[in-house]
Amino acid sequence: MEWLDHLSLGLSVALSLQNLGYCFLGCLLGTLIGVLPGIGPVPTIAMLLPITYVLPPEAGLIMLAGIYYGAQYGGSTTAILVALPGETSSVVSVLDGYQMARAGRAGAALAIAALGSFFAGCVATVLLAAFAPPLAQVAFKFGPAEYFSLMVLGLLAAVVMASGSLVKAVAMTILGLALGMIGTDVNSGMPRFDLGFLKLQDGLDFAVVAMGIFGLAEIMANLEQRERRVQVTDKVGPLYPSRREFRESWPASVRGTFLGSILGILPGGGAVLSSFASYTLEKKMARDPGRFGRGHPAGLAGPESANNAAAQTSFIPLLTLGIPGNAVTALMLGAMIIHDVQPGPRVMSAHPDVFWGLVVSMWVGNLMLVVLNLPLIGVWVRLLKLPYRVLFPAILVFCSIGVYSLDNSLFDVWMLAFFGAAGYLWTRLGCESAPLLLGLVLGQMMEENFRRALLLSRGDFTTFLTRPVSLSLLIVAAGLLLLIAVPVIRRKRDEAFVEE
Amino acid sequence: MRLKIRNRPDFWAGVLFVCAGLAFGLGAQAYPIGRAGHMGAGYFPALLGLCLALLGLLLGWQACRAAAAPASIRRPDWRVAGIVLGSVCLFAIALPALGILPSVFVLVFVGSMAGHDFDWRVASLVGLGMMAFVWLVFIQGLGLVFPAGLLG
């Protein structure tokens, strides 16, 4: 049993005292920012990237991953208690979770969410361990043409799943790819688009861009809205779900887990989409759909399990193909590159300790989160009362210092302000930031594979269409585009995102 | 035929993409383009610039069609944006001159003014708290090095 060896290697890495500590720290931070509205996992991971420079790669990645899935737990806590989703992925949990809390079942709702998430985390970890190696084997057979087509598919799928205008999202992706061209050309050693700045010859740092377009731009967007007074439910009630609540929620958890696991693997899917999909599924399957929105446990258990499963399986394409599916995994890809772990199918063989350590740490982290979250609910509730006027200056400090310490360069601080302004501007124009970040991270890789594919084919563009794997990837990509262009489906998609 | 912009966000996003596309596309002309089988440094960026400009045109055209849904741009809050971005720029100026801890205070204090419930006492307290945090975690804990500044 080869995978048993892998899991034991993973256990030995993940259970080392140091990594347990960083996993704990990541989960704690993740829960914290999940609870706090107005700051999400993307800017947090970007802010903490510079700090992980001093850590060994596995410790750094374990901590950053912990932030991501920790945020899923934290976000649901606030969704249930105060109808204020800390993260977009827990928006659906408000519907039935908050109603349960109002009926005096807050404790049970929190327990259902936590246990459902934990179950999903366990299953997703096993899936990750089982599916990553064969997928990496497939990826080994990929040439540059296949890789290029895979990236086209990945970027397009991410765009199709995103809300809003398709054309704008594609354009933002290409803008990101173009921004990725800034810096020294790997092949000729020629600096490109450096505008005379020596610093730009190293390329744009994606952490700076991410902090600008997610961190600063979000602060500005939040400050425009008046601060909402938070009504905190003080009575949490017993933590144990009743027999009936348990019976109604576990099948939903199981379905949510599998739905989330599948959607998480798809690029662009991730946690948000899967929680919505799971809610819809539960409502369709229920015998009494009228109870949904009025505190049905299944309406909470399904989406909570789904978003956690998806948060974890979204690491599969990152770890096996080196293709990130959403903004968080894009940042993780950057973190791996910083630590000299080249993302892609070779991670598993070249850095088995990092790979399996990360996988097992996700399971350990999920266990920690259950243990951490249920008893500490009182603390999280109190944190909710932290006013934004205390929180946002702190975020400003973390962003500015984080950016500066990346390279001890003031230029990066100016770039932070620049991308903050740019991010603010384009969200005003209805353009999303996440596709740009994906493009920025993939830009150089995409150019390199495009170049090599055409070098091998001596400039024959049909190489992308004559190689069967590449062709099928492109057909799927074209199919996605067609699908979205069909008016009926397009309307459905718009409807699905309206609820968001 | 007079051009009527019906969807303003889409139209101006289109303008933005056309400008960015032209900047990258024309900028790439400064580098060797090469040919498909043997690409130079300018080939891929030029291609991206072209795609971007075309998508921008498409977007702009769609925004002017009769079928386009009319939409206007929500007015930016210049005060909030100016103060938030200004405080970060101020930090970049203050850091080499004043050193890290005073700069953190300046960043927090000035940044706080962007909030609609600004109170100089709260802002000062948060500023002092962040100074302590930065000193403890970033300087003592993580050993990051910052410019000493004129005040040491």
Alpha-carbon distance B48 to A450, whole Å? Answer: 12
User: What confidence score (pLDDT) does residue A499 get?
Assistant: 43
Instruction: Please name the member of A174, A223, A401 whose beta carbon is closest to the beta carbon of B115.
Output: A223
Task: Tally A–B CB contacts below 8 A.
Answer: 190
The stretches of B28-151 forming alpha helices (DSSP H) are: 43-64, 78-98, 100-112, 120-133
Among A336, A146, A158, A148, smallest CA distance to A264 is for: A158
pLDDT tens digit string along A133-172? 888 888 888 889 998 998 898 888 777 766 678 889 899 9
Task: Spell A421-441 as b/e; 16+ CB within 10 A means b.
Answer: bbbbbbbbbbbbbbbbbbbbb
pLDDT tens digit string along A310-350? 888 888 888 888 888 778 888 888 888 888 888 888 888 88
Residue B133: closest C-alpha in chain A: A394
Contact: B108, A455; criterion CB under 8 Å: no
pLDDT top residue among A383 and B127: B127
Among A383, A368, A341, A332, smallest CA distance to A62 is for: A332
Alpha-carbon distance B5 to A48, whole Å? Answer: 43
Among A319, A330, A379, A397, smallest CA distance to A354 is for: A319
Instruction: Please name the member of B21, B92, B107 whose beta carbon is closest to the beta carbon of A414.
Output: B92
Mean pLDDT for A388-411 is 88
User: What confidence score (pLDDT) does residue A491 get?
Assistant: 60
pLDDT top residue among A75 and B10: B10
Answer whether residue A397 shows pLDDT above 80: yes
pLDDT tens digit string along A165-214? 888 989 999 999 999 999 988 888 888 998 888 888 888 888 899 889 98
pLDDT tens digit string along A319-328? 888 888 778 8
Percent of chain A with pLDDT over 90: 19
Alpha-carbon distance A182 to A187, whole Å? Answer: 14
Split at pLDDT 50, 70, 90, the class of A389 is confident
Split at pLDDT 50, 70, 90, the class of A500 is very low
Contact: B117, A227; criterion CB under 8 Å: yes
The answer to whether B36 contacts chain A (CB < 8 Å) is yes
Among B98, B108, B152, smallest CA distance to B128 is for: B108
Q: A34 with A86: CB under 8 angstroms?
A: yes
Q: A294 with A96: CB under 8 angstroms?
A: yes
Residue A408: closest C-alpha in chain B: B146
pLDDT tens digit string along A261-309? 988 887 665 667 788 888 888 888 888 778 888 888 888 999 999 988 9
pLDDT tens digit string along A297-309? 888 999 999 988 9
Alpha-carbon distance A273 to A34, whole Å? Answer: 18
Residues in B closer than 8 angstroms to A175, CB to CB, are: 17, 20, 52
Q: Which two tokens stand for residue B3?
A: 């051009």
Contact: B108, A421; criterion CB under 8 Å: no
C-alpha separations of B150 from B98, B132, B140, B143 in Å: 6, 20, 21, 21
Residue B61: closest C-alpha in chain A: A167
The answer to whether B67 contacts chain A (CB < 8 Å) is no
Answer whether residue B1 shows pLDDT above 60: no
C-alpha separations of A351 from A63, A342, A355, B98, B121 in Å: 17, 9, 6, 44, 51
pLDDT tens digit string along A403-431? 888 888 899 999 999 999 999 999 889 88
Shortest Cα distance, chain A CAs vs residue B147, angstroms: 9
Alpha-carbon distance B63 to B6, whole Å? Answer: 6
Shortest Cα distance, chain B CAs vs residue A220, angstroms: 6
C-alpha separations of B13 from A172, A214, A328, B10 in Å: 10, 19, 25, 5
Shortest Cα distance, chain B CAs vs residue A8, angstroms: 32
Contact: B122, A392; criterion CB under 8 Å: no
Q: In chain A, what's the furthest Cα-to-Cα distance?
A: 71
Q: Which two tokens stand for residue A207?
A: 């952490």
Residue A420: closest C-alpha in chain B: B85
Alpha-carbon distance B34 to B31, whole Å? Answer: 9
Answer whether residue A381 shows pLDDT above 80: no
User: What confidence score (pLDDT) does residue A464 get?
Assistant: 92
User: What confidence score (pLDDT) does residue A383 get?
Assistant: 77
pLDDT tens digit string along A445-496? 899 999 999 999 998 999 999 999 899 989 988 888 887 776 655 665 555 5
Which of B16, B48, B78, B117 to mutate to test binding with chain A, by most A CBs within 10 Å of its CB? B48
Q: A88 with A272: CB under 8 angstroms?
A: yes
Contact: B36, A459; criterion CB under 8 Å: yes
Answer whether residue A22 shows pLDDT above 60: yes
pLDDT tens digit string along A56-74? 888 999 999 999 888 888 8
Residue B9: closest C-alpha in chain A: A429
Instruction: Please name the member of B59, B114, B145 whose beta carbon is closest to the beta carbon of A171.
Output: B59
Alpha-carbon distance A433 to A420, whole Å? Answer: 11
pLDDT tens digit string along A446-455? 999 999 999 9
Answer whether residue A80 shows pLDDT above 50: yes
Which residues between 104 and 133 in chain B have a beta carbon less than 8 angstroms from any beta carbon of chain A?
104, 107-108, 111-112, 114-119, 122-123, 126-127, 130
Contact: A454, B36; criterion CB under 8 Å: yes
Domain definitions of chain A by residue range: 2-147+204-407
Residues in B closer than 8 angstroms to A494, CB to CB, are: none
Lowest pLDDT segment from A226-235, A252-261, A297-306, B119-128: A226-235
Alpha-carbon distance A97 to A241, whole Å? Answer: 13
Per-chain mean pLDDT for chain A: 84
What is the number of other CB atoms lying within 10 angstroms of the CB of residue A141?
9
Shortest Cα distance, chain B CAs vs residue A270, angstroms: 27
Which of B52, B72, B101, B112 to mutate to test binding with chain A, by most A CBs within 10 Å of its CB? B52
Answer whether residue A222 shows pLDDT above 60: yes
Lowest pLDDT segment from A85-89, A283-287, A291-295, B22-26: A85-89
Alpha-carbon distance A159 to A155, whole Å? Answer: 6
Q: Which two tokens stand for residue A78?
A: 């606030």
Residues in A closer than 8 angstroms to B87, CB to CB, are: 396
Answer whether residue B81 shows pLDDT above 80: yes
The answer to whether B39 contacts chain A (CB < 8 Å) is yes
Residue B85: closest C-alpha in chain A: A417
Contact: A390, B107; criterion CB under 8 Å: no
